[in-house]
Structure 1
Amino acid sequence: MTDHGAPASLPGWHPVYSGKVRDLYLPDDDTDQRMLLVASDRVSAFDHVLEPGIPGKGELLTTLSLWWFAQLAGADGGAPVPNHLAGDQTDIPDAVRGRAMIVHRLEMLPVECVVRGYLTGSGWLEYQAHGTVCGIPLPEGLNDGDRLPEPLFTPAYKAPLGEHDENITFAQTVELVGADRAAQLRELSLQTYRRAADTAAARGLILADTKFEFGIRDGVLTVADEVLTSDSSRYWDADAWRNGATPAERMASFDKQIVRDWLASAWDKTGTPPELPAEIVARTAAKYRELIDRLTTD
């Protein structure tokens, strides 16, 4: 796997995990209970890490996560949502500064908390076949990209590395984490989605869906990993959604959909994926940057 800028070693830290996008380091000092979470420039689609990466992607994702953590901590005037940031970030090594976060160690929960505010993607396919999304019945007559009557909490089980996450029911979530914790996850996920959707709407954007990951620290439910980034969320331009003539125009997203669309047309999903053309890389990077500019520029 190409690192796209993630060094093999960092002074004072040692690597313990490398995912499709993020690398995790622990401190060499065993008494230090923090972790270093580094976002690389790697890009994945259809369960493959692709070549080349998206230049600057790791820094863009980190910048957006930090901005959202600040909003949810109360910068937007709302009630603070605890996050995993470990206070002072000055210990980040220079080699990964700008695309890394020092975070607390959490007892991570095995549930990916997905919230859908609009009908699209796999939800649209299921709705066409069964009139449901993740088994939840919906009204008849909805179209691809339509706003749902109410945001839906549709959790998934976080499968072991290399396996696919699996959509689960709320009852299965209760079995995994207990009734009280499942209710907390649902309520906080829906509240946070609505809050973020309002923030995005004020900037001419639609937050169609997103996913959160939570852990426990000192008994407190705490949001972790990335949050509300273009890798974990689907954002649309509000004007295009209202006025677009086709689904593609209405739902052009600020993420790696450009990569997915190109790969779906250029590869039959057998063997090694082809290398991404320079034009696809450049367009994708521009979309990531545009989203940050739209959200964070007053």
Structure 2
Amino acid sequence: MHSTPLIDTQLADIPARHGKVRDVYDLGEHLLLVATDRISAFDWVLPTGIPDKGRVLTGVSQFWFDQLDTPHHLVTTEVDQMPLPDGVDREVLRGRVMLTKKAQVVPMECVVRGYLAGSGWKEYQQSGTVCGVQLPSGLVESDRLPEPIFTPATKAEMGEHDENISFERMAAEIGTELAEELKARSIELFNKGSAHAEKCGLLLADTKYEFGHADGELILIDEVMTPDSSRYWPADQYQPGGPQPSFDKQFVRDWLLASDWDRNSTPPELPEEIVEKTRAKYIEAFERISGGEFAWK
């Protein structure tokens, strides 16, 4: 039997920020990022958690930080090596926490798209562009793009939407030199991620990276190419011309859309079947990407 979902964490007397999925604690020299089992859809955090989802996100991020030859913020995922206060239940945190360097966050989502999906597909239908990038005419939903494109977005505050912006606007806001470096780094990471994913029978349709400055260096932060920050598709089912099955919240979204929930009031609890199917999808993504067995089955 799998574990009870971790919905909320409270580490006594430690300053914290609570996001949609992560609780971030300030330990002085470092940050402690706790990936809970919360799941959000349609800008709402749902009342039902997905057991071990946070462990999948942490495990996938750790895999990529280990694989990618790029400066990053991860110090350790080993709970016993972390400077936690006395009395903290380390077992609850095991597998779902990252001790990280502090960084001054660049206020941009660095999105790279290899396929035409989501908000990119919507914009393309209207204007033939994605975030100001002109694309060939005649593409259909989920088509592979001639080459990956960099489509930044502003980082929204809690409860607000990220806003897709042009590269030119990004450069105007943070400086051309930094914008060019972020673009080059993001596309390089995406190409490495895509190549690995394809070996695992997955297509990395799009993903977002976040960066920050620490000790005078631009480093990769937050989560990396997880099922929450990326769109992964099974390669053997890929068929352009419509939406693709994915390794994220698809069961949850589909169930909510079919329910009578109005998206303006508190969301309903998810049925156990949807929770189980969603958990299984996250674990499958972890095992395919990492090549290892999920330890909390």
Residue in structure 2 matched with residue 56 of structure 1 by the alignment: 52
- The answer as to 2:39 corresponding to 1:46 is no
Q: Give the aligned residue type for 1:256.
A: K
Q: CA deviation at 1:274?
A: 1.7
Residues 217 and 245 (structure 1), Cα distance of their counterparts in 2 relative to 1, 3 Å cut? closer
Counterpart of 1:41, as a letter, is D
| Aligned with residue 289 of structure 2, among 282, 295, 298 | 295
Q: Which residue of 1 aligns with 2:133?
A: 136
The CA deviation at 1:6 is 3.5
Question: CA offset at residue 265 of structure 1?
Answer: 2.2
Take 2:77 and 2:289, find their aligned partners in 1: how far apart are those partners? 24
Matches of 1:34 and 1:245 in 2, distance apart? Answer: 44
| 1:129-278 matched pairs, under 5 angstroms | 129-241=126-238, 244=239, 247-248=242-243, 251-266=244-259, 267-278=261-272
Equivalence for 2:23? 23
In 1, distance between residues paired with 2:49 and 2:76? Answer: 30
Shift of 1:162: 2.3
Aligned equivalents of 1:161, 1:51: Cα separation in 2: 17
Q: CA deviation at 1:270?
A: 2.5
Distance in 2 (alpha carbons) for counterparts of 1:265 and 1:122: 21
**2:280 aligns to what?**
286
Distance 1:195 1:274 in 2: 39
Q: Quick check: 1:6–1:96 contact (8 Å CA) kept in 2?
A: no
- Quote the Cα distance in structure 2 between the aligned partners of 1:247 and 1:172: 31
Percentage of matched positions with identical amino acids: 50
Contact conserved, 2:141 with 2:241, CA < 8 A, in 1?
no
Q: What does the per-residue CA deviation read over 1:61-89, in whole Å, with 9 as the maximum and x for residues that have no partner?
A: 101110111011xxxxxxx2011012584
- Give a deviation string over 1:13-43, Cα, whole Å, max 9, x none: 714200100001112xxxx411100000000
Alignment match, 2:103 = 106
The aligned residue for residue 34 of structure 1 is 30
Long gaps (5+) in structure 2: 293-297
Aligned counterparts of 2:162 and 2:242: Cα–Cα separation in 1: 27
Map of 2:94 onto structure 1: 97
Distance in 2 separating the partners of 1:160 and 1:297: 35
| Alignment equivalent of 2:112, drawn from 87, 105, 115 | 115
Offset at residue 261 of structure 1 (A):
1.9
TM-score, structure 2 normalization = 0.89
**SS of structure 2 residue aligned to 1:86:** strand
In structure 1, the gaps of 5 or more residues are 73-79
Q: What letter corresponds to residue 263 of structure 1 in structure 2?
A: L
Per the TM alignment, residue 123 of structure 1 is displaced from its structure 2 partner at its CA by 1.1
Give yes or no for contact 2:48–2:269 (8 Å, CA) kept in 1: yes
- Aligned residue in 2 for 1:69: 65
Distance 2:16 2:9 in 1: 13
Aligned residue in 2 for 1:76: none
Secondary structure class of the residue paired with 1:42 = coil
**Secondary structure of 2:188's aligned partner:** helix
Give the Cα–Cα distance (whole angstroms) in 1 for the partners of residues 32 and 76 of structure 2.
13
Alpha-carbon RMSD: 1.8
Pairs aligned (count): 279
Q: Tell me by how many angstroms 1:198 deviates.
A: 0.2
Return the TM-score normalized by structure 1: 0.89
Task: Please give the alpha-carbon distance, in whole angstroms, between the structure 2 residues aligned to 1:24 and 1:258.
Answer: 28
